[in-house]
Amino acid sequence: MKIWKRNLIVCWFGTFVTMVGISQIAPIMPLYIKQLGIHNTAAIEQISGIAFGVTYILSAIFSPIWGYAADKIGRKPMLLRASLGMSIVVGSMGLVQNVYQLIALRMLQGVISGYCTACITLIATQTEKRHVGWALGVLSTASISGSLLGPLIGGSLDEILGLQFTFFLTGILTFVAFIATLLFVKETFIPEEKKVLSTKEVWRQLPDSSLIVTMFVTSFVLQLAYFSIEPIITVYIYQLSNNTSHIALISGMVFSAAGLSSVIAAPRLGKLSDKVGPQKVMLIALIVSGIIFIPQAFVKNPWQLMSLRFLLGFATAGLIPSINSLLKKITPDAIAGRVFGFNMSAFYLGSFSGSVFGGQIAAHLGIKYVFFITSSLLLLNAIWFYNKGFKKLNLMTKANRIDKKAI
């Protein structure tokens, strides 16, 4: 078996168990904050946004640093650092006594995170170019399916063992990812014998920096849209639900709905992007995602919300693999770690902005307005991407096909 295929299997497993662990925290975070002594609904929405957001703003700061380290010493050490650090920090969240300790540990989580980023970089740089879209699509199913099962597990564990045990299980799962990576990931990394490039020098080596900026902006908006909803969705379900005794479990099911459809769609959209071009998949996915957010503001019960989240998953499944595939195609391998690190900073900045923005809008205007504004941002981004990137990428794709025919 080729090394990239073997590593894809291991990274798939490691990403899967990591995302199971991390995503099972999402639906219980507002409930955990309430358990720690905060009872006002608006305060819970705001603190949930902050608790989510601080992780991502620090991840945004440190992601380029870890990207530079990956280019310098290899991707496997970054996988080991992130998985072991996460197992310790997230496990400790089950022992906190107040929201300030929780937020402090969420900040530390942001500093040491980056397992999935390192997996993406490893697979993107090792995989043969003609299989990159497929490989990244397969890898994304690990993240998506982990995100699918995680909320269900988290909601169920709350019913059986209590909220704290969810954090302990997350620590155990990320430690399993550490062991799997340590034993099975293979990387022959030879650092290039040359001086470290500054950010400006990295920028100069890019064939088309404007396209890179387009990808970064799209990554930012995508995460802003997604995370503006995530911290408050449990509160929304509480408002919609007549039966308040199983909120954690119902929230887990709603969170998982989008993940289920994404698991179905991601590999197929990955293959489709290899065939027709990731830019086409990406544009359509942005438009459809923006449209589906609107009716979520008008649902009358959690089951209607779950149905719409299921439809949303079909669209979002095509976004992240398409972004990663396009970045791979327009970035030289020697600086891929740095560029993917910058892109993850855009992701994390979007996650931070969305978490804080969603919590504040929900607290001051109401949750429905979060859906309206999120939809508008995605549709505006689709228009911007069409004007700034889509046309140029289509021309590049046609030129590459002509070159291949000539050869």
pLDDT of residue 296: 93
Comparison of pLDDT for 321 and 102, the residue scoring more: 102
| More confident position, 404 or 250 | 250
What's the confidence (pLDDT) of residue 344? 79
Average pLDDT value for residue range 244-262: 77
Is the pLDDT at 357 greater than 80, yes or no? yes
Global pTM?
Answer: 0.69
The answer for residues whose C-beta is within 8 angstroms of residue 352's C-beta and 6 or more apart is 53, 54, 55, 56, 57, 60, 227
**Can you give the length of the chain in residues?**
407
Give residue 122's pLDDT. 85
Q: Dihedral of the CA atoms 83, 85, 91, 97 (nearest 10)? A: -150
Average pLDDT (97-111) is 90
Rounded-to-integer distance, Cα 57 and Cα 48, Å: 15
Of residues 93 and 242, more confidently modeled: 93
| Predicted local distance difference test score (pLDDT) of residue 294 | 93
Query: What are the DSSP calls for 227-287, one per residue?
Result: HHHGGGHHHHHHHH-S-GGGHHHHHHHHHHHHHHHHHHHHHHHHHHHHHH-HHHHHHHHHH
Q: Which domain holds residue 103?
A: 3-185+205-397
User: What CATH number is given to the structural domain containing 301?
Assistant: 1.20.1250.20
Quote the pLDDT of residue 379.
94
Which SS3 state, helix, strand or coil, does residue 128 take? coil
> Among all chains, which residue has been given the structure tokens 């699918």?
148
Average per-residue pLDDT in the chain? 82
What are the tens digits of pLDDT across the range 296-353? Answer: 999 988 889 999 999 988 888 888 878 888 888 888 877 777 788 788 778 878 877 8
Burial 131-144 (b: 16+ CB within 10 A, else e): bbbbbbbbbbbbbb
220 pLDDT above the threshold of 60: yes
Is 51 inside a domain boundary?
A: yes
pLDDT value at position 244? 63
Angle at 128 between CA 124 and CA 130, to 5 degrees: 105
Residue 42: partners with Cβ closer than 8 Å, 6 or more residues away: 363
pLDDT at position 400, please? 57
Q: Is the pLDDT of residue 402 over 60?
A: no
Q: What is the pLDDT of residue 377?
A: 92
> Is a pLDDT exceeding 70 seen at residue 243?
no
- Report yes or no on 158 lying in a domain: yes
Mean pLDDT calculated for residue range 29-45: 84
Percent of the chain with pLDDT over 90: 15
Whether 404 is covered by a domain: the verdict is no
Does position 404 have pLDDT exceeding 60, yes or no? no
Pick 128 or 403 by higher pLDDT.
Answer: 128
Alpha carbon distance 335, 342 (integer Å):
11
Domain count, the chain: 1
**3-state SS assignment for residue 361:** helix
- 199 assigned to some structural domain: no
Angle between helices 41-73 and 75-92 (to 10 degrees): 150
